[in-house]
Structure 1
């Protein structure tokens, strides 16, 4: 069975990605990078005259945390990509289908 996974519609949150890249997904810290802080987000909003909702601010902070974490992990040569390849999805789907067939027989 050849199933193509459907990608979710991200249009509703696109502005958050734009904001993240504008404020900077990370900030300089000591010998590397760190996630953006709530203080940085507050100052950035004040400078631009923006008033983000609490969920938007928390989402930007979380995106920054994840970006920073993954960028540090990605420096390892044997690091797996942070996304599933289409082959991996197909393999997983085949395994689930096989397990279900076994369970139902």
Structure 2
């Protein structure tokens, strides 16, 4: 059974909760700046990831401060996006990992984004 504040994917405590809207917006902006042709596909993929992850839980987002759905830690979400990008463009996926590693270390200490 999932404990409150626990990631549905890795089952670790979400140290710094980030709501789905903030997670997807930040990464969508990155995709838009790096390969605009993938933005529409990214939106579809991100929506699919979020719909499949259960259970849903409400936590206070550390970015926008709203009480919002947060059921996956930023590292697990970024890993899913990294794997999706790797299927589309390996160099782009590598750049994504480099760009997000530092930020993710601050949000979820002790977790590494694999590249």
TM over 0.5: no
Q: TM-score, normalised by structure 1?
A: 0.28
Structure label with greater radius of gyration = 1
